[in-house]
Structure formats: C-alpha cells, structure tokens
Structure 1
Amino acid sequence: MADKPETQRGRAAANANVVELSQYRAGQKAEPLPVTFHRRELDAILWIYGRMVGEGEWRDYALDHLKDRAVFSVFKRAGEMPLYRIEKNPKLAARQGAFSVTNTAGMVLKRGHDLKQVLKVFDRNLKLVEK
C-alpha cells in the first residue's frame, strides 16, 4: 500500500463496514456444546468409583465429553479396554433413559432415567455365610 496515493488508502478505510459484535455473533452458527455430566451426577459416579478403588477392583478412569453423549470409562489397568462405561445420552432421555452402564463386551447392564438407580448395578448383595 506504500505505492498507492494517500487518497486511495483513505477511501478503502471509508468503505469498510462496521458491524456490532452482537450482530456478528447472531449471524454465526453456534456450534453445540458437548454433553457433560452435571455436578451431582459426577458426584454419584465418583462415589461409586472411590468405593471400588478402595476395594481394589478399579484403578483408572477416563472422562469424555462428546457432542452427543458423555462417557465415564472405568479401567482395571490404564492400557486395557474399559471394564465399564457409564454413559449419558440426552437423545434417549424420553425413551429408555439417558443413563446406561455398559460392560466390556458392549452389553447394556442397566439403563434408566435416574443415575442413582442405574448405578445400583455396582451394589453388592450381602450373602449369609454359614459356619
């Protein structure tokens, strides 16, 4: 722009459109936010996780927030396939329930609308031991 006369640079600046930021944002397509676990949901999951770590059954976890679902994966060892996947899929909320627990083979162990009820799949039944 150094070889152009001063008047041409002034015209280019005068032709520039000034757009308010709110109008610019309204014109853009907003990308949907990923699905996440709410604080109370994550608290219930981590309570179960802590109990199972204390029992020596679980050792690692991964948390994934995807566009269509949130996944909490539980591992025996970090380098293996997850033992269980606790998923939140809002698209299934009206039908089968947004929450599900899946094992390594991909079989759904429990599904429902209430996360605490779904997590009961990890509860142990006490058995009477006779002498």
Structure 2
Amino acid sequence: MQNVTSIADYRAPPPTVFFHRRELDQILRVYGRMVAEGEWRDYAMNDGAEQAVFAVFRRTSEMPLYRIVKCPKWAKRQGAYAILAPGDQILKRGHELETVLRFFDRKKLNVVD
C-alpha cells in the first residue's frame, strides 16, 4: 500500500501577528518606566492568527492591569493598536502605537490634606 500525501500537508501554516522590533522597543520603554515607578512588575506576550497581545501585571498571580493589543483587522477603522483594561474595556485606540502609548504618560494626582 502506498502512502498518499494530501495537498493540505504542504500548505504553509497561517501567519501569526506579532509586534515588530520597533513596536516592542516602544512598549518595553514604557514598561521599564512603569517598573521603575513601582506600578508594574511582570508582563506576558502572546501572538495569534488575528492579534498580538502584551499584557502587564502588578503581580504575576493577578489578572493583567492592561493589555496592549495589535490587531491588523482593526486598522481601517479606528486603528490597529489598542489599550484594554480588565473586562475588555477599550481605554485608548489608534493608528500609531506611539500615540496610543501616550495613555501611560498621564500624571498621577496626589491628594494633599
């Protein structure tokens, strides 16, 4: 009996979405600043067929504080980049990653008695 190989065996796997080097540099610059301020402590990255995610955590055992998402499918609408809060609430969205990351430049307000 002869082994039969189907065309499906030769198809390339679907491409995955991930951050480019320049995008990762921008994200890690913000991450480093927030770690230095004591706000963030850990991160995780994930790639997929439709989107790439960079999640930041206050503690490893918790839900992510923020997720920075790259989804090329959203590019024609309001931009391919977004910052999501827990519960998938969109905090900031845009076409340029640098503009979206400015969300984290907001200054904290301290209450003085």
TM-score category of the 2 structures, normalised to the smaller one: 0.7 to 0.9
Bigger helix share? 1
1:47 to partner: Cα distance: 0.2
Point out which structure has higher relative CO (alpha carbons under 8 A, 6+ apart): 2
* Greater Rg over alpha carbons, structure: 1
> What's the counterpart of residue 12 of structure 2?
30
Residue 118 of structure 1 corresponds to 100
With normalisation by structure 2, the TM-score equals 0.85
Corresponding residue number in structure 2 for 1:106: 88
Q: Residues 83 and 33 from structure 1, CA distance in 2 versus in 1: closer, same or farther, beyond 3 angstroms?
A: same
Q: Are residues 112 and 50 of structure 1, via their aligned partners in 2, closer, same or farther at CA, if it must alter by over 3 Å? A: same
Q: Aligned partners of 2:96, 2:104: CA distance in 1, in Å?
A: 15
Residues 67-93 of structure 1: per-residue CA shift (max 9 Å, x gap): 110000000000110000000000111
Corresponding residue for residue 39 of structure 2: 57
Q: Give structure 1 regions of 4+ aligned residues with deviation exceeding 4 angstroms.
A: none
Tell me the TM-score normalized by structure 1.
0.74
The answer to whether 1:77 aligns with 2:75 is no
Q: Which structure 2 segments of 5+ residues have no match?
A: none
Counterpart amino acid of 2:68? I
Q: What is the aligned-residue identity percentage?
A: 54
Q: What CA RMSD, in Å, does the superposition of the two structures yield over aligned residues?
A: 2.5
The aligned residue for residue 73 of structure 2 is 91
| Structure 1: runs of 5 or more not aligned | 1-11, 16-23
Count of aligned pairs: 108
How many angstroms apart in 2 are the aligned matches of 1:30 and 1:47? Answer: 34
